[in-house]
Amino acid sequence: MSINWVMLAPSASSNSPRTFEPLPQEQTLYTSPPRTSLSIQSLNKFPGKEPFSVSSSAGVVYLTNRRIIYLPSSPTPALQSFAAPILNLHDTHVTAPWIGPNVWTAVLQPVQGGGIPPQHAALELKITFKDGGAFDFHTRYERVKERLQQAVEVARESGAVRGDGSERGRGRGGGALDGVNLDSVNLEELPAYEETGAAVPAPVGAQNGAPIPPPTVPPPAVNVETLPATSPRQEQQIFSPPSEPPPGYEEVQRESVEDELARRLSNARE
């Protein structure tokens, strides 16, 4: 990221909004409403370490296929412009408070000579969308970042670039993306999924608009020839209760009674 290093385009008149000169192969993908604010400050404020902080209450944020640019509506000597390469932004997310506008937050990785004191290895960036657009901006940013990372990976495999594509130099010119063919980066929305193949014809009832009854499943067939044949006498033996006691029943019953009487007599004598 860099402070006050964005090359501005000449304005047609003093009342015209400020714009920037694009880098080679750079395309503008998003422009925010003019009341968007920006804040950059130190992540950790250690004793004896001078904190860093710049802010603007209103301005315009531009998202391109290479970087994020912020031009304040009322420039000051401390903040006339801001730019950060897309791959130098980390941990990006949108915060939606109960009261107040949505805020887009990121961790910045400064570039050498970009106007940030060298003792700050990381800074916190907050962009407040007072007139809306935070989620639209975040969606576009994440899509561009993903496509750009894929392009850097392809260029690294071919030996055209080194590293992860984040800018560590002075943050001007092509920089870390010099070896990446940005024209080959697809920035459009992916097409909606459509199933291919031959269509299955609908049933005749469905084509005529009539309801289709559920299919009827016939009961399983039973081969009566395989069943064992039973006579009326066998059926009576199977289902009729026995009319006589089993063999030896009276003898067992008598022995049980005798044993019980003997046990009682023995207990009485004791």
pLDDT at position 15, please? 66
- Averaging pLDDT over each range in 18-27, 168-177, 215-224, which range is the top one? 18-27
pLDDT at position 230, please? 53
- Classify residue 81 by burial, with Cβ atoms within 10 Å: 0-12, 13-18, 19+: buried
The rounded percent of the chain whose pLDDT value lies above 70 is 57
pLDDT, one tens digit per residue, over 41-50 is 988 766 666 7
Range of lowest pLDDT (53-67, 99-113, 205-219): 205-219
Strands ordered across the beta sheet of 36-42 = 53-56, 36-42, 123-129, 102-108, 89-95
What CATH topology corresponds to 2-184? PH-domain like (2.30.29)
108 vs 88: CA distance, rounded Å = 6
* Cα angle 69-72-74, degrees, rounded to a multiple of 5: 160
| Structural domain spans, the chain | 2-184
The residue type at 265: L
Confidence of residue 5 (pLDDT cuts 50, 70, 90): confident
Confidence of residue 170 (pLDDT cuts 50, 70, 90): very low
pLDDT at position 43, please? 83
Mean pLDDT along residues 197-212: 50
Mean pLDDT along residues 217-231: 54
pLDDT at position 257, please? 66
Residue 151's alpha-carbon distances to 137, 154, 179, in angstroms, are 21, 5, 10
pLDDT at position 110, please? 87
pLDDT at position 191, please? 45
